[in-house]
A and B are shown apart, each in its own frame.
Chain A
Amino acid sequence: MKLFKSITLLMLLACLAFSAPTFPKLNNSRVVDDAGLFDENQKINLDKKLANHETNTSNQIVVVTVKSLDGYDISDYGYQLGRYWGIGQKDKNNGILLIVAPNERKVRIEVGYGLEGILPDATSKTIIQNDILPSFKKGDYYNGVNNGVDKIMATIKGEYKPAKPTNQNTPIGFLFPILFIVIIFINVIPKSEDKKKRLIPAIISGSVAGIISWVIFFVLGVSIFIAVIVFLLTLFGSNSNWSDGNYHPTSGGFGGSDFGSSDFGGFSSGGGSFGGGGASGDW
């Protein structure tokens, strides 16, 4: 498992290295107040409102305030941030970012591909001019953002319905049966303390796991990966961990939980994309 962890870490690092501007962390929240414009209550209020909207429509709206745009144009910064965080559901691209840069005195509504139809740029511009900027000019950021969010939600309300909860809405759901098979294999094969004698069972179980995952996933990379993991586990894994009485498989729990939705109160972005839709304003 250490190997798996280090690979994931490496991939994360690689992703980080390629993103151009420095973005604030999403931190499982719909209100990312990096510039510190809101107090706790205001944040909770906004978050609740946005969470409610997502449950009813599956649209993901995120309010973000940034200390600095790093010298980027706010429209350039906005779509990159939206893509980086992956706001919106993957199949609908229904994410919206409301970006406030108080130091540059700029605000932007960044609209995901899937909402460009119902929230055209001219409408975003009107919302900025009529609902957001009047409060911003008075220094009242919370009211401006709150009004803007209300107007955006009212505009995009009817466009999408929440997805019906299904048992397997993430590929992660598929991993559990495979993991199960893997564990069974490791338990069934007689373990020998002698590493050399383990080699053949390891090769067999590795290739069997690889074939099974090939049948299920039909992706070469994944099945090779699983095959290698099973091979290594069988070869080097200590038998005492797996076959003693302490191991209780939690059967029946697989696939029941709903990873894609945010009913748990936390927030996870859905992987939506952006193409530069929306409008900006300054004050």
Chain B
Amino acid sequence: MKIVGIIVGVLLLLAALVVLPRINNVPKLDENVNMYASQLDNQYKRRSDLIPNLVATVKGYASHEKDVLTQVTEARAKVGQMTLTPEVLNNPEAFKAYQNAQDGLSSALSRLMMVTENYPELKANENFLQLQSQLEGTENRIAVARKDYIEAVKDYNLELRTVPGKWVAALLYPEAEVKQNFTTTPAESATPKVAF
């Protein structure tokens, strides 16, 4: 009897050792995801803020490229209404809409940048060069922020779906759900074609 008691005690202790350090993992990882989401949202906002200036500069040299310019302006207007709040993160449809709007702006912008290749005077404009490097840098930061976000969501989802975390979550955080993650769009994975 005594031996059984000791074994049970040791097992309980081991279980406590496994579970106790992870008891706060779900809310911690959840906050982590929220933080990376707002960083990503920031970078998207920053890109959106660059656009009026960029459109104005391009217009000065390539005013008859109306189609592309309107597309960019419209895509920006769509993006402007959305923010990546925790509610959006937990709502698959809203998340999808957010992603689509940002992807729409990405492709409109890349079309615009392709068009500018045809205007050597524009490409020599100091102001345009500055905007171009800022846009480049922002796209870069978006890529980094997206990767960080994807990693954070992966950690969170793994915690919810694998064993000690799964038990802890079922016991203490029954409301926690697996979160949405980004998927690469066909537009993103395809290399842009440049027509001369």
Contact = CB atoms under 8 A, between A and B. Distances in A.
A278 B137 contact: yes
Contact of B143 (A120, A124, A276, A280): A276
Chain A interface residue number, banded: 10 to 19
A276 B141 contact: yes
A275 B143 contact: no
Given A220-B21, A221-B21, A120 B134 contact: yes
Contacts of A277: 137, 140-141
6 contacts: A121-B137, A124-B133, A275-B145, A276-B141, A276-B142, A277-B141
Contacts of B140: 75, 276-278
A79 interface: yes
Contacts of A220: 20-21
Nearest to A279: B133
Interface string A46-79: 0000000000000000000000000000011001
B130 interface: yes
Contacts of A12: none
A75 B129 CA distance: 19
B145 to A, nearest CB: 7
B136 interface: yes
Interface of B: 20-21, 39, 129-130, 133-134, 136-138, 140-145
A143 to B, nearest CB: 23
Given A121-B134, A122-B130, A125-B133, A79 B144 contact: yes
Contacts of B130: 122, 125
Given A76-B143, A79-B144, A122-B130, A276 B137 contact: yes
A275 B137 contact: no
Nearest to A125: B133
A280 B133 CA distance: 9
Contacts of B133: 121-122, 124-125, 279
B17 to A, nearest CB: 8
B163 to A, nearest CB: 20
A258 to B, nearest CB: 32
Contacts of A125: 129-130, 133, 136
Given A122-B130, A220-B21, A221-B21, A275 B136 contact: no
A275 B146 CA distance: 11
Interface string A187-230: 00000000000000000000000000000000011000000000
Given A120-B137, A121-B137, A276-B145, 10 more contacts: A75-B143, A122-B130, A124-B137, A125-B136, A221-B21, A274-B144, A275-B39, A276-B140, A276-B142, A277-B141
A276 B134 CA distance: 12
B21 A276 contact: no
Most buried by A among B21, B134, B141, B145: B141
A275 B130 CA distance: 20
Contacts of B143: 75-76, 276
A76 B146 CA distance: 12
Interface in A262-283: 274-280
Contacts of A221: 21
Contacts of A280: 136
A246 B130 CA distance: 68
A279 B137 contact: yes
Contact of B136 (A79, A121, A274): A121
Nearest to A111: B137
A274 B148 CA distance: 11
A275 B142 CA distance: 9
